[in-house]
Structure 1
């Protein structure tokens, strides 16, 4: 949903597993289909909660595999998340959400003020060239002492932020759905990507330091703009838990600028209109940093209003490459990596299975179309001709009550007779897979 340059993704091929065997779906096979089709996904649907969309067609996802930005999480961090939400079933973007809030808090402490434009000057520097620290308590102590520091928390492990305010390196996981429509953790593999040399070398202003006599504007107010509802709502629980945990641990460490950080809840609705309403509410409430949005397209839609208000937008899960060059006046940041990298990773996963014809279906927004284009480019570089690639997009439903109808697209894919189909979307993309099954596209399990 992510801009980084340079990559070690080539190493990914050594980690990817081929899935042996196949069985037909409940759909009827047809002579126009060359054979069983391998199904692939991306971060928006490679989560356990996505499998819950198939309760009426159990096992339909068996064998589906794909990639997601994911750092191996420690058992300790998972236990802390579960103390916030005992029912948590996924951890996707939990670390990135936690880190976005912690970095914002440290930057505010270094700046000595809650003024967003001043906080923004310190954000990139929090991740580079200083005394290394990995907890809110340790980092805030350094910040209060006016010390330069290098935060290495949950998702940020190697390189710091680039000049554009995003990770210079990232970790990706290859994930596999099993016969119960759940991710098989035993098959999850991790690979590093990116280039640490892309980390910014620009120095931050001198830290304010404890005891400086200035008006701070505390308390620091951080607002949520995460997908509590809408097509991406299935990915909200881990992000919500990561946010709550970060606020709890920052305040347990003494808060920021002498006062507890205030969290102002908010929903982006996976809908630009809903997100704009939430943004307006946050601005009226005097929020200094907004955490979100969930989808890249939603962030692109609300960014002009946020920038005009002089507020920071810090997303834990935007990956669209175009956001690296957004006109943000230095107020937009993200802890998720660019889809330029995920395009390489996904293409590598697909090519490992030796496909000859590939269909790529994507939701029509910055995330879907951007990642679709990146994967297409990488597949063509790998030797698949343009004639053997079919690209389709769909308009996401206007609201959660409207069901996506992909029946015509499914017929086109069946006629194309691919041996691989990549589905790039959120919760609504379950209806793409169901439509393929209903059209008689035989899915390899």
Structure 2
């Protein structure tokens, strides 16, 4: 997930005249127009997002989208539900669990809780040797000094050399009646390339290492701001991992620690939390939530020599970002999500598409990626139009009137589909479309 302002260079003189310069027919007065399908992404395809529509029952019925998702085992689902009985979603829960476990295994193999040393083993524990599938099994092997290849909840193959999954799985999810996800319609699609797994020789693991300083994780997930609704499953996944690691004897002879923290969906708040975590002795940050927040605060983590390991950052810009070897993620790049999402949209036979996105790096980059994939598949470039609304530092809509303006620009174009990219604030974009009289297909 991710934040900035952009000016859209439209192929037409005005967005209001989109239908006139579209390669498709002018349907502005066409009574046969059936309406537009609604699509979403990992930022809004969640039950907690559906709760934003209490006064619009059924509005999201039929909305579909993609998010990094693998078929999770019942034991894991039961585990996170035990940690948080009120849990409604599972978005990035597995990725958070794996981020904590991989960090712990790397520290054990490094024989140190020094972030600079841990970072050299993070990729290695996913590709280095004997395949292991549970925390207990992996820690036992790691403590004995044997190279390991961790296969976890979502990490089913090794990391690439830049510290992110080489392969992943996406779920196509659907909202049903009552603005809730219909899990019975979920489909899974594997993507990525096994050849992207790092071929760098892993360092030799340390046998039976010990430490005076316990491995300490600092939460850097959005407890407040526009992404706050996404945190409960990630928080549960991370805490389940902490529990299982300590039940297996901890790391380097000591229990691992977890210190709560909030990124606020805001670079300002996240920087303050990073500073607080540094003072508390945190070596590994789990987060942040938004990719834009990560891009803005990674230099702060580097300054303090801390590892930043996000379970949900997806911006392609983070792949090549200068990170001094301290940034990792268990979430895949949106280059992969763009392909999966475009495939879902193309199955519906779309010819004219409106993309509504917030001004964060996450939204703009994903919109660019989807547009590229649609055009590559044969959709005319002038028939894919992007509309950007501004958000504040905490992810809130800067000007609600801008959403109404965008909705009224889209209406005359009669798109076959509308893709809405954003966080909880993107509910306002959908409500604005409905208020403007948009015909939404359910």
* Fold equivalence (TM over 0.5): yes
Match of 2:79 in 1: 80
2:366 paired residue number: 371
Partner of 2:10: none
Structure 2 CA distance for aligned equivalents of residues 116 and 32 of structure 1 = 62
- Matched residue, 2:6: none
Match of 2:438 in 1: 441
Q: Distance in 1 between matches of 2:381 and 2:121?
A: 45
SS at match of 1:56: coil
- 1:329 lines up with 2:328 in the alignment: no
* Residues 31-430 of structure 1 aligned to structure 2 (within 5 Å): 31=29, 34-157=33-156, 159-210=157-208, 216-399=211-394, 405=400, 406-430=403-427
* Whole-Å separation in 2 of the counterparts to 1:143 and 1:293: 28
Looking at structure 2, the residues matched to 419 and 31 of structure 1 have their Cα atoms a distance apart, in angstroms, of 15
Other structure's SS at 1:180 match: helix
- In the other structure, the counterpart of 1:432 is 429
Task: Find the aligned partners of 2:425 and 2:397 in 1 and give their Cα distance.
Answer: 10
Q: Matched residue of 1:297: which SS?
A: helix
Q: State the distance in 1 between where 2:30 and 2:106 align.
A: 58
Q: d(CA) in 2 for partners of 1:430 and 1:401?
A: 11
Q: Which of 274-283 and 412-421 deviates more? A: 412-421
Deviation at residue 216 of structure 1 after TM alignment: 2.7
The aligned residue for residue 23 of structure 1 is none
Give the Cα separation in 1 of the matches to 2:430 and 2:223: 24
Q: 1:160 to 1:383 in 2, by over 3 A?
A: same
Q: How many residues align?
A: 415
Displacement of 1:403 in angstroms is: 7.2
Shift of 1:217: 4.1
The CA deviation at 1:429 is 0.4
Alpha-carbon separation, structure 1, partners of 2:125 and 2:29: 59
Are the equivalent residues in 2 in contact too, given 1:218–1:257 (CA < 8 A)? no
Distance, in Å, in 1 between the alignment partners of 2:29 and 2:313 is 41
Post-superposition Cα deviations, 1:260-281, rounded to whole Å, max 9, x if no partner, equal 1010110011111111111111
Residue deviations 1:88-147, cap 9 Å, x none?
Answer: 111110000000000000000011111101000000000003111111111111111111
Contact 2:44-2:421 at 8 Å conserved across structures: yes
Q: Is the 8 A contact 1:107 1:123 kept in 2?
A: yes
Secondary structure of 2:138's counterpart equals: helix
RMSD between aligned residues: 1.6
| Gap regions ≥5 residues in structure 2 | 3-26
- Report the alpha carbon displacement of residue 309 of structure 1 after superposing the two structures with TM: 1.3
List alignment gaps of at least 5 residues for structure 1: 3-28
Query: 2:170–2:189: 8 Å Cα contact kept in structure 1?
Result: yes
SS at match of 1:192: strand
In the TM superposition, what whole-angstrom CA distance separates every residue of 1:15-34 from its partner, at most 9, and x where no partner exists?
Answer: xxxxxxxxxxxxxx984894
1:292/1:366 CA distance change after superposition, 3 Å: same
Could you say what secondary structure the match of 1:390 adopts? strand
Equivalent residues of 1:112, 1:216 under 8 A apart: yes
CA offset at residue 394 of structure 1? 1.4
Q: CA deviation at 1:401?
A: 7.5
| Mapped contact 1:224–1:292 kept (Cα < 8 A) | yes
Is contact 1:363–1:394 with CA below 8 Å preserved after alignment? yes
Give the Cα–Cα distance (whole angstroms) in 1 for the partners of residues 358 and 104 of structure 2. Answer: 34
2-side partners of 1:167 and 1:321: how far apart? 13
Distance 1:300 1:401, change over 3 A: closer
Per-residue CA deviation, residues 193-236 of structure 1 (Å, 9 max, x unaligned), is 011111011122111111x5xx7342011101001111111111
